[in-house]
Amino acid sequence: MHIRLIRSGGLLGVPRRAEADTAARPDGAALEKLAYEVLTAADGPSPSGPGVPDACHYTLTVDDQPPVEFTDPGLTDAQLRLVERVLGEGF
């Protein structure tokens, strides 16, 4: 599974991107489980509107599936764990 995660917004406003091939990672199985969980939960429409000031916006793309968007605050535990594993918390 190929995972691409983009963070935009935030107080700094500089985007950050990270990609992960689960086959090449020791935590690949756990990552795939998390990604499935986030994709499955995202069967509704993506959040609309500009969101709250300075919040982080995330765009997740798994393989060739349509991108899924989510935003802070209000991340689910699965979204947060995926963000932390793929992007890390810093730059």
Partner 1 sequence: MRPPRPVCGILPPFILEKLTEADNPHVREAAHNTLAVDADFRQNRIETPSLVSPAAPTEFVLDRTLYDTHHTLALPGDLVRREGGDPSLDGTVNRAYESLGLTFTLYKEAYARHSIDDANLPLDSTVHYRRRFNNAFWDGERMVFGDGDAVVFNDFTISVDIIGHELTHGVTQYTAGLVYQDQSGALNESISDVFGSLVKQYDRHQTADQADWLIGAGLFTPQVRGQALRSMREPGTGFDDPMLGGKDPQPSHMTHYVEGDADNGGVHINSGIPNHAFYLTAVAIGGFAWERAGRIWYETLTSGRLSENCDFQEFAQATRDTAERLYGTRLELESVVKAWSDVGLSVH
Amino acid, res. 63: D
Q: Which is nearer to partner 1, 23 or 73 (CB)?
A: 73
Q: Figure out which of the listed residues 51, 61, 69, 78 binds partner 1, where binding follows CB under 8 A.
A: 51
Q: Which is nearer to partner 1, 31 or 56 (CB)?
A: 56
Q: Which is nearer to partner 1, 44 or 91 (CB)?
A: 91
Q: Look at strands 16-21 and 56-62 and give their pairing.
A: unpaired
Residue 84 touching partner 1 (CB under 8 A): yes
Burial of residue 49 (CB within 10 Å: 0-12, 13-18, 19+) is exposed
Provide the H-helix boundaries in 1-91: 28-41, 77-86
The 8-class DSSP code of residue 2 comes to E
Mask for 7-46, x = binds partner 1 (CB under 8 A):
-xxxxxxxxx------------------------------
Size of the site for partner 1 (CB under 8 A): 26
Instruction: Determine the 3-state secondary structure of 3 from DSSP.
Output: strand
